[in-house]
Protein backbone atom coordinates (compact mmCIF):
# COMPACT_ATOMS: atom_id res chain seq x y z
CA UNK A 1 0.00 0.00 0.00
CA UNK A 2 1.30 3.46 -0.89
CA UNK A 3 2.18 5.50 2.17
CA UNK A 4 0.89 9.05 2.52
CA UNK A 5 3.62 11.42 3.79
CA UNK A 6 2.71 14.87 5.10
CA UNK A 7 5.67 17.26 5.49
CA UNK A 8 5.02 20.35 7.63
CA UNK A 9 8.05 22.59 7.19
CA UNK A 10 8.71 25.85 5.28
CA UNK A 11 10.75 24.13 2.55
CA UNK A 12 12.12 25.39 -0.74
CA UNK A 13 11.26 23.58 -3.96
CA UNK A 14 14.73 22.02 -3.97
CA UNK A 15 14.25 20.70 -0.43
CA UNK A 16 10.83 19.28 -1.31
CA UNK A 17 12.27 17.51 -4.34
CA UNK A 18 15.02 16.06 -2.20
CA UNK A 19 12.53 14.52 0.24
CA UNK A 20 10.41 13.13 -2.57
CA UNK A 21 13.52 11.65 -4.15
CA UNK A 22 14.48 9.89 -0.92
CA UNK A 23 11.43 7.61 -1.25
CA UNK A 24 9.72 8.30 -4.59
CA UNK A 25 7.23 5.47 -4.18
CA UNK A 26 5.34 7.43 -1.53
CA UNK A 27 2.64 10.07 -1.99
CA UNK A 28 3.59 13.49 -0.56
CA UNK A 29 1.83 16.63 0.52
CA UNK A 30 3.62 19.73 1.81
CA UNK A 31 2.31 22.25 4.31
CA UNK A 32 3.57 24.17 7.35
CA UNK A 33 2.79 24.05 11.04
CA UNK A 34 0.65 27.18 10.67
CA UNK A 35 -1.30 26.12 7.57
CA UNK A 36 -1.80 22.37 8.13
CA UNK A 37 -5.45 21.35 7.88
CA UNK A 38 -7.39 18.59 9.59
CA UNK A 39 -7.99 16.91 6.22
CA UNK A 40 -4.25 16.81 5.47
CA UNK A 41 -3.39 15.40 8.88
CA UNK A 42 -6.07 12.68 8.71
CA UNK A 43 -4.83 11.78 5.19
CA UNK A 44 -1.29 11.10 6.43
CA UNK A 45 0.24 7.76 7.40
CA UNK A 46 3.44 9.56 8.43
CA UNK A 47 3.93 13.19 9.43
CA UNK A 48 7.29 14.94 9.23
CA UNK A 49 7.13 18.20 11.15
CA UNK A 50 5.34 19.58 14.18
CA UNK A 51 1.70 20.03 13.20
CA UNK A 52 -0.77 21.22 15.87
CA UNK A 53 -1.21 18.72 18.70
CA UNK A 54 -4.99 19.15 18.76
CA UNK A 55 -5.13 18.00 15.13
CA UNK A 56 -2.57 15.19 15.15
CA UNK A 57 -4.34 13.50 18.06
CA UNK A 58 -7.31 12.95 15.73
CA UNK A 59 -5.26 10.68 13.44
CA UNK A 60 -5.72 7.14 14.77
CA UNK A 61 -3.75 5.37 12.01
CA UNK A 62 -0.47 7.31 12.09
CA UNK A 63 2.51 4.95 11.97
CA UNK A 64 5.38 7.43 12.19
CA UNK A 65 5.80 10.94 13.56
CA UNK A 66 9.11 12.68 12.79
CA UNK A 67 9.49 15.82 14.87
CA UNK A 68 11.55 18.78 13.77
CA UNK A 69 12.48 19.35 17.43
CA UNK A 70 15.00 17.49 19.55
CA UNK A 71 12.48 17.37 22.40
CA UNK A 72 8.85 17.16 21.14
CA UNK A 73 7.36 16.91 24.64
CA UNK A 74 3.69 17.76 23.82
CA UNK A 75 3.52 14.90 21.28
CA UNK A 76 4.65 12.36 23.87
CA UNK A 77 1.72 12.96 26.20
CA UNK A 78 -0.59 9.94 26.53
CA UNK A 79 -3.34 9.89 23.93
CA UNK A 80 -1.76 12.28 21.44
CA UNK A 81 -0.34 9.62 19.08
CA UNK A 82 -1.50 6.04 18.41
CA UNK A 83 0.09 3.51 20.74
CA UNK A 84 2.20 1.87 18.02
CA UNK A 85 3.28 5.08 16.29
CA UNK A 86 7.05 5.43 15.95
CA UNK A 87 8.42 8.77 17.15
CA UNK A 88 11.72 10.19 15.92
CA UNK A 89 13.30 13.53 16.72
CA UNK A 90 15.73 15.99 15.11
CA UNK A 91 18.70 15.44 17.40
CA UNK A 92 21.78 16.61 15.55
CA UNK A 93 20.13 19.50 13.69
CA UNK A 94 20.53 22.27 16.24
CA UNK A 95 24.07 22.01 17.62
CA UNK A 96 25.57 24.75 15.46
CA UNK A 97 22.81 27.35 15.85
CA UNK A 98 22.28 26.92 19.58
CA UNK A 99 25.95 26.64 20.53
CA UNK A 100 26.64 29.90 18.67
CA UNK A 101 23.75 31.53 20.56
CA UNK A 102 25.38 30.35 23.78
CA UNK A 103 28.74 31.80 22.76
CA UNK A 104 27.17 35.12 21.83
CA UNK A 105 25.32 35.41 25.12
CA UNK A 106 28.37 34.39 27.12
CA UNK A 107 30.52 37.04 25.44
CA UNK A 108 27.84 39.70 25.90
CA UNK A 109 27.71 38.98 29.63
CA UNK A 110 31.45 38.52 30.11
CA UNK A 111 32.30 41.80 28.36
CA UNK A 112 29.36 43.86 29.72
CA UNK A 113 28.19 44.47 26.15
CA UNK A 114 24.53 44.46 27.13
CA UNK A 115 25.16 47.17 29.74
CA UNK A 116 26.83 49.34 27.13
CA UNK A 117 23.86 48.78 24.82
CA UNK A 118 21.63 50.08 27.62
CA UNK A 119 23.82 53.18 27.92
CA UNK A 120 23.73 53.65 24.17
CA UNK A 121 19.95 53.83 24.30
CA UNK A 122 20.30 56.58 26.94
CA UNK A 123 22.96 58.36 24.81
CA UNK A 124 25.48 57.97 27.64
CA UNK A 125 29.20 57.89 26.79
CA UNK A 126 30.42 56.40 30.04
CA UNK A 127 32.81 53.59 30.94
CA UNK A 128 31.84 50.87 33.40
CA UNK A 129 34.51 50.96 36.08
CA UNK A 130 35.05 47.28 36.72
CA UNK A 131 37.07 44.52 35.07
CA UNK A 132 35.49 42.31 32.43
CA UNK A 133 35.93 38.56 32.15
CA UNK A 134 37.93 36.40 29.80
CA UNK A 135 36.79 33.24 28.08
CA UNK A 136 40.39 31.99 27.91
CA UNK A 137 41.22 30.12 31.10
CA UNK A 138 37.67 30.07 32.42
CA UNK A 139 36.05 26.85 33.62
CA UNK A 140 32.92 25.79 31.76
CA UNK A 141 30.61 23.10 33.08
CA UNK A 142 28.48 21.62 30.29
CA UNK A 143 25.52 19.86 31.90
CA UNK A 144 24.22 17.70 29.09
CA UNK A 145 26.66 16.44 26.47
CA UNK A 146 24.41 15.63 23.55
CA UNK A 147 24.67 17.36 20.19
CA UNK A 148 24.10 20.85 21.60
CA UNK A 149 26.20 20.51 24.74
CA UNK A 150 29.07 18.90 22.85
CA UNK A 151 28.96 21.57 20.14
CA UNK A 152 29.21 24.30 22.74
CA UNK A 153 31.94 22.44 24.64
CA UNK A 154 34.07 22.18 21.50
CA UNK A 155 33.73 25.87 20.75
CA UNK A 156 34.48 26.91 24.32
CA UNK A 157 37.59 24.72 24.29
CA UNK A 158 38.80 26.27 21.03
CA UNK A 159 38.53 29.70 22.65
CA UNK A 160 40.76 28.61 25.52
CA UNK A 161 38.26 27.55 28.18
CA UNK A 162 38.65 24.48 30.36
CA UNK A 163 35.60 22.31 29.85
CA UNK A 164 34.08 19.66 32.11
CA UNK A 165 31.14 17.65 30.82
CA UNK A 166 28.27 16.13 32.80
CA UNK A 167 26.24 13.19 31.51
CA UNK A 168 23.76 10.87 33.16
CA UNK A 169 26.26 8.04 33.28
CA UNK A 170 29.59 9.78 32.68
CA UNK A 171 31.42 8.08 29.86
CA UNK A 172 34.46 8.56 27.68
CA UNK A 173 36.17 11.93 27.70
CA UNK A 174 36.58 13.73 24.35
CA UNK A 175 39.77 15.66 23.72
CA UNK A 176 38.02 19.01 24.22
CA UNK A 177 37.10 18.19 27.85
CA UNK A 178 39.18 17.92 31.00
CA UNK A 179 36.84 15.17 32.13
CA UNK A 180 33.26 13.93 31.83
CA UNK A 181 31.47 13.01 35.04
CA UNK A 182 28.07 11.57 35.85
CA UNK A 183 25.30 13.60 37.47
CA UNK A 184 26.16 12.21 40.91
CA UNK A 185 29.30 14.40 40.78
CA UNK A 186 27.55 17.55 39.56
CA UNK A 187 27.65 19.30 42.93
CA UNK A 188 31.39 18.69 43.21
CA UNK A 189 31.98 20.53 39.93
CA UNK A 190 29.70 23.53 40.45
CA UNK A 191 31.96 25.50 42.86
CA UNK A 192 34.73 25.52 40.22
CA UNK A 193 32.66 26.60 37.21
CA UNK A 194 32.69 30.16 35.88
CA UNK A 195 29.96 29.20 33.39
CA UNK A 196 27.26 26.56 33.86
CA UNK A 197 25.75 25.63 30.49
CA UNK A 198 22.52 23.59 30.56
CA UNK A 199 21.25 21.68 27.53
CA UNK A 200 19.09 19.08 29.22
CA UNK A 201 15.84 17.40 28.15
CA UNK A 202 12.65 17.77 30.10
CA UNK A 203 12.31 14.65 32.25
CA UNK A 204 11.26 13.92 35.83
CA UNK A 205 14.97 13.64 36.68
CA UNK A 206 15.81 17.11 35.35
CA UNK A 207 12.75 18.93 36.73
CA UNK A 208 13.98 21.77 38.95
CA UNK A 209 17.47 20.26 38.92
CA UNK A 210 18.71 23.80 39.47
CA UNK A 211 16.66 24.91 42.42
CA UNK A 212 17.71 27.39 45.10
CA UNK A 213 19.93 24.85 46.87
CA UNK A 214 21.83 23.88 43.73
CA UNK A 215 22.19 27.46 42.54
CA UNK A 216 23.70 28.25 45.95
CA UNK A 217 26.39 25.64 45.25
CA UNK A 218 27.54 27.49 42.13
CA UNK A 219 30.75 29.49 42.19
CA UNK A 220 30.08 33.05 43.38
CA UNK A 221 29.78 35.28 40.32
CA UNK A 222 29.13 32.42 37.88
CA UNK A 223 27.08 32.80 34.70
CA UNK A 224 24.26 30.36 33.91
CA UNK A 225 23.16 29.53 30.36
CA UNK A 226 20.01 27.49 29.70
CA UNK A 227 18.95 26.27 26.26
CA UNK A 228 17.43 22.89 27.17
CA UNK A 229 14.11 23.05 29.00
CA UNK A 230 12.84 25.84 31.21
CA UNK A 231 11.67 23.29 33.77
CA UNK A 232 15.31 22.49 34.61
CA UNK A 233 15.71 25.83 36.43
CA UNK A 234 13.59 27.38 39.16
CA UNK A 235 13.25 30.85 37.62
CA UNK A 236 12.23 32.46 40.92
CA UNK A 237 15.35 31.06 42.58
CA UNK A 238 17.46 32.17 39.62
CA UNK A 239 16.20 35.74 39.89
CA UNK A 240 16.96 35.75 43.59
CA UNK A 241 20.46 34.35 43.07
CA UNK A 242 21.26 37.13 40.57
CA UNK A 243 19.63 39.84 42.68
CA UNK A 244 21.66 38.80 45.72
CA UNK A 245 24.90 38.61 43.73
CA UNK A 246 25.45 34.87 44.15
CA UNK A 247 25.38 34.57 40.36
CA UNK A 248 26.69 37.32 38.12
CA UNK A 249 24.01 36.76 35.54
CA UNK A 250 22.25 34.39 33.18
CA UNK A 251 21.21 33.95 29.57
CA UNK A 252 18.09 31.88 29.07
CA UNK A 253 16.24 30.87 25.92
CA UNK A 254 13.74 28.75 27.85
CA UNK A 255 11.72 29.47 30.99
CA UNK A 256 9.18 27.89 33.28
CA UNK A 257 6.47 28.93 32.77
CA UNK A 258 6.85 29.79 29.11
CA UNK A 259 6.32 32.49 28.11
CA UNK A 260 7.77 34.14 31.19
CA UNK A 261 5.10 36.26 32.90
CA UNK A 262 5.61 40.00 32.24
CA UNK A 263 5.87 40.77 35.96
CA UNK A 264 8.62 38.22 36.64
CA UNK A 265 11.71 39.79 38.25
CA UNK A 266 14.07 38.20 35.71
CA UNK A 267 12.88 40.72 33.09
CA UNK A 268 14.31 43.69 34.98
CA UNK A 269 17.76 42.37 35.92
CA UNK A 270 20.64 44.08 34.11
CA UNK A 271 22.77 40.95 33.82
CA UNK A 272 20.03 38.59 32.62
CA UNK A 273 19.42 38.06 28.91
CA UNK A 274 16.15 36.46 27.82
CA UNK A 275 15.17 35.29 24.34
CA UNK A 276 11.78 33.68 23.49
CA UNK A 277 12.87 30.10 22.72
CA UNK A 278 14.39 31.08 19.37
CA UNK A 279 18.00 29.87 19.58
CA UNK A 280 17.27 26.74 17.58
CA UNK A 281 14.56 27.69 15.11
CA UNK A 282 15.13 28.33 11.42
CA UNK A 283 16.75 31.77 11.62
CA UNK A 284 20.00 30.00 10.71
CA UNK A 285 19.28 28.40 7.28
CA UNK A 286 21.75 25.60 8.02
CA UNK A 287 19.40 24.32 10.73
CA UNK A 288 16.60 23.66 8.26
CA UNK A 289 19.07 21.95 5.92
CA UNK A 290 20.14 19.70 8.80
CA UNK A 291 16.52 18.79 9.49
CA UNK A 292 15.95 17.95 5.82
CA UNK A 293 19.04 15.70 5.99
CA UNK A 294 17.56 13.83 8.96
CA UNK A 295 14.12 13.55 7.33
CA UNK A 296 15.52 12.29 4.00
CA UNK A 297 17.72 9.74 5.76
CA UNK A 298 14.82 8.38 7.80
CA UNK A 299 12.52 8.35 4.78
CA UNK A 300 14.95 6.02 3.02
CA UNK A 301 15.07 3.75 6.06
CA UNK A 302 11.28 3.84 6.44
CA UNK A 303 10.84 2.86 2.78
CA UNK A 304 13.30 -0.01 3.18
CA UNK A 305 11.65 -1.31 6.36
CA UNK A 306 14.78 -0.57 8.40
CA UNK A 307 14.92 0.76 11.99
CA UNK A 308 14.65 4.54 12.05
CA UNK A 309 17.38 6.73 13.51
CA UNK A 310 16.68 9.14 16.37
CA UNK A 311 13.88 6.99 17.76
CA UNK A 312 12.48 8.06 21.10
CA UNK A 313 11.21 6.00 24.00
CA UNK A 314 7.65 7.13 24.60
CA UNK A 315 7.50 5.23 27.88
CA UNK A 316 10.19 7.32 29.57
CA UNK A 317 9.74 10.57 27.64
CA UNK A 318 13.52 10.75 27.57
CA UNK A 319 15.14 12.78 24.79
CA UNK A 320 18.34 11.04 23.80
CA UNK A 321 21.65 12.76 24.50
CA UNK A 322 23.22 10.41 21.99
CA UNK A 323 24.27 11.12 18.44
CA UNK A 324 21.85 10.91 15.48
CA UNK A 325 23.20 7.52 14.44
CA UNK A 326 22.17 5.82 17.64
CA UNK A 327 18.74 4.18 17.79
CA UNK A 328 16.41 3.79 20.72
CA UNK A 329 13.65 1.24 20.80
CA UNK A 330 10.22 2.84 20.84
CA UNK A 331 8.43 1.19 23.73
Catalytic residues: 229, 258, 277
> 3-class DSSP state for residue 76?
helix
For the sheet with 139-143, list strands across it. Answer: 179-182, 162-167, 139-143, 195-198, 222-226, 247-252, 272-274
What b/e string do you get for 286-311 counting C-beta neighbours within 10 Å, with b at 16 or more?
Answer: ebbebbbebbbbbbebbeeeeebbbb
What is the dihedral sign for C-alpha 101, 107, 109, 112?
negative
Cis omega before residue 257 (within 30°)? Answer: yes
Name the helix (H) or strand (E) containing 251. Answer: strand 247-252
- Do 205 and 179 touch, CB atoms closer than 8 A? no
Ramachandran region, residue 92 (left: φ > 0; alpha: ψ -120 to 50; beta: rest) = left
C-alpha span between 65 and 298 (Å, rounded): 11
What b/e string do you get for 127-154 counting C-beta neighbours within 10 Å, with b at 16 or more?
Answer: eeeeeebebeebbbbbbbbbbbbbbbbb
Q: Which of 242, 186, 257, 185 is nearest to 212 (CA)?
A: 242
What is the dihedral sign for C-alpha 147, 148, 149, 155?
positive
Amino acid sequence: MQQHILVALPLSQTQRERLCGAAPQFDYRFTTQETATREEILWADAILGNVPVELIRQNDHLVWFQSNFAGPDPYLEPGVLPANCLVTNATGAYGLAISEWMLGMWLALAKDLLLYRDRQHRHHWEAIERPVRSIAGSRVLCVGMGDIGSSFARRAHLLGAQVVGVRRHGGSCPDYCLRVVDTAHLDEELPQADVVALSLPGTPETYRMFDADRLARCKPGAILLNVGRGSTVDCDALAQAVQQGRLYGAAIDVTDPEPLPPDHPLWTLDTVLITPHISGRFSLPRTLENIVDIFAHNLQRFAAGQPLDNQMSRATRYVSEDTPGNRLTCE
